[in-house]
Structure 1
Amino acid sequence: MTPTIIALVVFLFPLAYSPGPGNMFFAANGARFGLRATLPANAGYHVATWVVAMVIGFGALKVFEAYPHLFDVLKLIGSGYVLWLAIKLFRAGGVGDIGDARPAGFTSGVVLLLFNPKAYVILLLMFSQFTDPAASDKTATVLLIASIFTLNNLGAFLVWTAVGDRLARRFRDTQQARGINRVFGLLLAGVAVWMVVA
């Protein structure tokens, strides 16, 4: 492992495991539906992560530099989407009271990534700090960085999802489960507000 890769992993680790839209979304879904039911959304999120990382690595940085307002638009749409998810979660019933609720699917995971400004900020920082403009093989560098970023995120999301799942298993009582949903809903709403003001 080269010093650059070690530095990249050290840079990404706290960013991936800190609370953010993705982590809160998957923790909440883990609490509501269990770890296994979140796997399609997790797959969607991380396929989209890898693709967006590759696109940014190969030149989208220039687009964001040329059109900085585009990033602001993504930020507002993303915060609105996360707030909508927070409201749905806050209103959810207990674990046994699923009714017509369904776990998020592959497409929901893709949408969450596409409108997650935290992911774009990290990607922009990552490629600006860990790519060498003079490198002869840029394709291999972008591929490696995008893959490390995606795998690191996947690990973090699985941990957050498992934590949500464990909490829900501990609190199977309907009232306690509603309380967990409300806590996660409020946390997700807080993340939505942070996305706008940060």
Structure 2
Amino acid sequence: MRFDRMFWQWIFGVFFLVWIIFSAPKLNYLGLFNIIGIFLLFIGILGRLYATLYIGGIKNGGRDGNSFVSDGIYRVCRNPLYFFSFVGLLGILFLKGQLILVIVGAILFLLIYRFTILGEERFLSDKFGDSYKEFLKNTPRFFPDFSRFKYSERLEIRPFFLHKEIKRAFVWLLGALFIYIISILQNLGFLPVLIMIY
């Protein structure tokens, strides 16, 4: 049975939406959390843009249609797009100022994407055989090993997919703006705070 990542993303998305709208932070470190959040958010956005330069439009077929991408940022880890999405999500959640929200978000993300990644690895192993299995052995699955990074001699960029990722970056920024708007509305008394969370 194929794991439906989008279904679970929607389920947990609604869960977090309710959490964010009707709760407020109990900790007094909102300024520090904001700095961490903004930093992680921009690292996530820039990392996704950089990974897209390598794999935009060629995720399953490689640059020649018969291989997989294994150079540049893909020497560092096998799933840099997912890793930098993880970093960006943590950044947005930090902006809420609730450590528990960050921890729960991190755990749920890693659970959902573990199933997604395992399914993709099975597909690519069947498609590319021993060369991909060797890639699996030598390259970290999720958390990067930056000592493995080497520049590619040549990089072919597909503008359509890069522009698509740039548009997605604005969605990430809107997510951050949403957190700030909710906080302002709560402080002004326009939104009820049902629970204070650490």
Q: Which TM class, normalised by the smaller chain length? A: 0.3 to 0.5
Q: Hey, which of these two has a bigger chunk of helix by percent? A: 1
Which has the bigger relative contact order, CA under 8 A and spacing at least 6? 1
State which structure, 1 or 2, has the greater radius of gyration over its C-alpha atoms: 2
| TM-score normalised by structure 1 residue count | 0.36
